[in-house]
């Protein structure tokens, strides 16, 4: 047997072991062998999930200083804090694949990695905070609950923690909208306007339709994804319709109706052109979101340098202790399908 | 109820300032830490304002001249060093104050007993950052020194008498000075030598005399609530 064929045989054994583990619903862990494409695909999805948490702080933080009661202000602050925490878990989980947080942030800042399209929409009124909680967090949970069974262990475990907190936020968002809907006519109108503006962008969070989704088939084969985009989107619509009724609010879709035969709600066509424009950077807030993130990072650089210099002094001047991890896996290209299943 | 208002306003206003950092912090861990401190303070504010009346009425419907917070806590965030210096001065004061209040009978004892644990964390956070920035790089050292100097003149106000607040102000002042001086020195910085109680700033916030930035802060904070009179949220 030549060295080459021995190597090939070993590689196919590793691949077979990986395939068997995935087939048996076992978890892949950081030290396990995994195909390079699986690693790269997870880094892309998890990083973009982390980025979405971080960018997603902005539209809501926009209302912290204007929250109309101290109770609501406390709830909103806690939520934005949780999002920063989710970003931290997810960056940590991504680091188990050999990527460093610094490198991932750099890719976010330079536009080489994306975040969920939804956060490129502006929060124009207080009711938007409720609509984000109810619809955006609701869509995120619908996407993320199946990720709790994802084949990669660290990601699945991060999702268990994230989903618990997200469910709590979603209930609070719903309750905020309910208070507005049952409040004064002006408050009711504010709530309806917010739902009108956030409904379709929330449906877009599930990604392109199944026949146009570049990564879906592979992600499902690897058991990273468990359900198709359209399947999850349908599930979300079916959940939202009775909730909207209970809220006393309407959903802005004249084609939305119960289909007895399918046992699901039919709904109108999504404006995929708008979706593509937002992903290409032409949404209402794309530029602003990235600019703020970059500015926070740049203006904070002297603080991070100070912390590193102080830590180096404290540990006996043994040189800079951070930022030395080599990236693993291939660079990631921009692709609208990348933001699937992240929010 | 002047004391509950004074302490409640301190916590409310500083919490608001820290809330302005959300999405702008230098590192993710500080997003979590600053929001956490802001939340603790907001919780304290709600308890204290509820002792004095309705929390939302007091927060959202009072004019600038009726607020009783220290001028220190209303100071704009500035750079991270400025925020940390404000936090160092205030959390050291709050910890010592609540330490005294927790040790005696009275309406603030229960609140102080709970808050003193939170405030110990705030103080530790501020001290650690004062050390990192003061003894970090040349730039961070300069910024931290500038921040300590700029805010020093607002510190004298913390030791002015407040109606209904039964504390030993002399021991509060000496313990505060000792603690803050020690941290500043460990951070290799100079203790500011400017007056800590100028004629204008001493006692001013407690009397409803504030700095100009405060009115703008209140305009933002109160705008939505005031736009919908009588609404509940």
Q: Which domains does chain B have, with CATH numbers?
A: 2-227 (1.20.1260.10)
- At B125, which helix (H) or strand (E)? helix B109-134
Neighbours of B179 (CB within 10 A): 17
Neighbours of B194 (CB within 10 A): 9
pLDDT at B200: 54
- For the stretch A44-90, pLDDT in tens is 999 999 999 999 999 999 999 999 999 999 999 999 999 999 999 99
At A10, the pLDDT band (50, 70, 90 cuts) reads confident
Q: Please, what's the b/e burial string for B10-25 (b: 16 or more CB within 10 A of its CB; e: otherwise)?
A: bbbbbbbbbbbbbbbb
pLDDT at B199: 43
User: Where are the domains positioned within chain A?
Assistant: 10-298
SS3 percent helix, strand, coil of chain B, rounded to 5, is: 70, 0, 30
Q: Is the pLDDT of residue B27 over 70?
A: yes
Report the alpha-carbon distance of residue B158 to residue B105 in Å, rounded: 22
- For the stretch A252-284, pLDDT in tens is 999 999 999 999 999 999 999 999 999 999 999
* pTM listed for this prediction: 0.92
Q: Is the pLDDT of residue A335 over 80?
A: no
Q: Is the pLDDT of residue A343 over 50?
A: no
pLDDT at A2: 63
Portion of chain A with pLDDT greater than 70, in percent: 91
pLDDT at A330: 39
pLDDT at B203: 63
Portion of chain A with pLDDT greater than 90, in percent: 85
Report the alpha-carbon distance of residue B80 to residue A187 in Å, rounded: 37
Q: Is the pLDDT of residue A337 over 70?
A: no
pLDDT at A84: 97
ipTM for the predicted complex: 0.96
Can you tell me the mean pLDDT for A15-42? 96
Can you tell me the mean pLDDT for A14-28? 95
At A9, the pLDDT band (50, 70, 90 cuts) reads confident
Residue B37, token pair as written in the block: 């401190």
Instruction: Tell me the nearest-neighbour CA distance from A116 into chain B, angstroms.
Output: 17
Architecture of domain A10-298: Up-down Bundle (1.20)
Looking from the CA of B139 toward its CB, the CA atoms found within 13 Å total: 12
Let me know: does A69 contact B27? Beta carbons within 8 Å.
no
Report the alpha-carbon distance of residue A12 to residue A16 in Å, rounded: 6
Can you tell me the mean pLDDT for A281-295? 96
Distances A91 to A31, A86, A224, B43 between C-alpha atoms, Å: 17, 9, 17, 30
Distances B107 to A91, B13, B101, B102 between C-alpha atoms, Å: 45, 22, 9, 10
- At B46, which helix (H) or strand (E)? helix B28-52
At B56, the pLDDT band (50, 70, 90 cuts) reads very high
Highest mean pLDDT among A10-19, A270-279, B102-111: A270-279
Q: Is the pLDDT of residue B83 over 80?
A: yes
pLDDT at A213: 81
| Cβ neighbours of B31 in A, within 8 Å | 57, 80-81, 84
Query: CA nearest A179 in B: which residue?
Result: B233
Instruction: Tell me the nearest-neighbour CA distance from A288 into chain B, angstroms.
Output: 12
Q: Residue A327 — φ and ψ, nearest 5°? A: -65, 150
| Cβ neighbours of A88 in B, within 8 Å | 28-29, 32
Instruction: Tell me the nearest-neighbour CA distance from B80 into chain A, angstroms.
Output: 8
pLDDT at A130: 98
To the nearest whole number, what is the mean pLDDT of chain A? 91
Among B8, B19, B22, the strongest candidate for a mutation testing the A interface, having the largest count of A CBs within 10 A, is B22
| Cβ neighbours of B229 in A, within 8 Å | none
């Amino acid at each position: 047997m030549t060295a080459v064929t021995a190597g090939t045989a070993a590689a196919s054994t590793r691949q077979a072991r990986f395939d068997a583990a995935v087939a048996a619903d076992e978890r892949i862990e950081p030290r396990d062998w995994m195909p390079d494409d699986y690693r790269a695909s997870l880094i892309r999805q998890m990083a973009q999930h982390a980025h979405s948490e971080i960018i997603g702080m902005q539209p809501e933080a926009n209302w912290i200083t204007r929250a109309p009661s101290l109770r609501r202000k406390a709830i909103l602050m806690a939520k934005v804090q949780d999002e920063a925490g989710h970003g931290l878990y997810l960056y940590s989980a991504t680091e188990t694949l050999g990527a460093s947080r610094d490198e991932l942030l750099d890719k976010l800042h330079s536009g080489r990695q994306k975040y969920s399209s939804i956060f490129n929409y502006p929060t124009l009124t207080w009711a938007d905070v409720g609509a984000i909680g109810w619809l955006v967090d609701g869509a995120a949970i619908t996407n993320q609950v199946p990720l709790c069974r994802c084949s990669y262990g660290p990601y699945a475990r991060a999702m268990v923690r994230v989903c618990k907190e997200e469910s709590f936020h979603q209930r609070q968002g719903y309750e905020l909208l309910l208070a507005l809907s049952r409040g004064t006519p002006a408050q009711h109108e504010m709530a309806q306007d917010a739902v009108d503006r956030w409904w379709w962008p929330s449906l877009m969070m599930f990604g392109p339709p199944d026949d146009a989704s570049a990564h879906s088939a592979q992600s499902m084969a690897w058991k990273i994804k468990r359900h198709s985009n359209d399947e999850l989107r349908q599930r979300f619509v079916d959940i939202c319709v009775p909730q909207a009724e209970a809220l006393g609010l309407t959903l802005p879709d004249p084609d939305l109706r119960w289909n007895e035969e399918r046992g699901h709600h039919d709904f109108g066509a999504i404006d995929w052109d708008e979706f593509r424009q937002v992903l290409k950077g032409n949404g209402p807030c794309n530029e602003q979101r990235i600019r703020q993130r970059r500015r926070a990072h740049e203006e904070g650089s002297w603080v991070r340098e100070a912390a590193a210099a102080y830590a180096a002094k404290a540990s006996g001047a043994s040189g800079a202790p951070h930022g030395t991890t080599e990236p693993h896996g291939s660079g990631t290209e921009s692709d609208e399908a990348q933001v699937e299943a992240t929010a | 109820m002047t004391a509950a208002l004074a302490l409640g306003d301190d916590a409310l206003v500083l919490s608001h300032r820290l809330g302005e950092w959300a999405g702008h912090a230098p590192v993710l861990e500080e997003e979590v830490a600053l929001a956490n401190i802001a939340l603790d303070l907001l919780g304290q504010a709600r308890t204290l304002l509820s002792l004095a009346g309705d929390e939302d009425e007091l927060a959202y419907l009072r004019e600038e001249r009726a607020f009783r917070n220290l001028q220190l806590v209303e100071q704009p965030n500035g750079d991270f060093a400025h925020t940390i210096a404000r936090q160092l001065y205030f959390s050291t004061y709050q910890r010592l104050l609540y330490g005294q209040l927790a040790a005696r009978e009275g309406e603030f004892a229960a609140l102080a007993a709970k808050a003193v644990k939170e405030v110990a964390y705030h103080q530790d956070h501020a001290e650690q950052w004062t050390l990192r920035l003061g003894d970090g790089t040349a730039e961070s050292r300069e910024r931290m020194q500038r921040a300590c100097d700029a805010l020093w003149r607002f510190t004298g106000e913390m030791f002015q008498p407040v109606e209904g607040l039964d504390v030993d102000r002399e021991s509060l002042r000496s313990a505060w000075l000792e603690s803050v001086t020690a941290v500043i020195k460990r951070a290799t910085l100079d203790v500011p030598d400017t007056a800590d109680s100028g004629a204008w700033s001493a006692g001013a916030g407690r009397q409803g005399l504030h700095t100009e930035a405060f009115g703008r802060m209140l305009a933002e904070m109160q705008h939505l609530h005031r736009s919908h009179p009588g609404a509940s949220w």
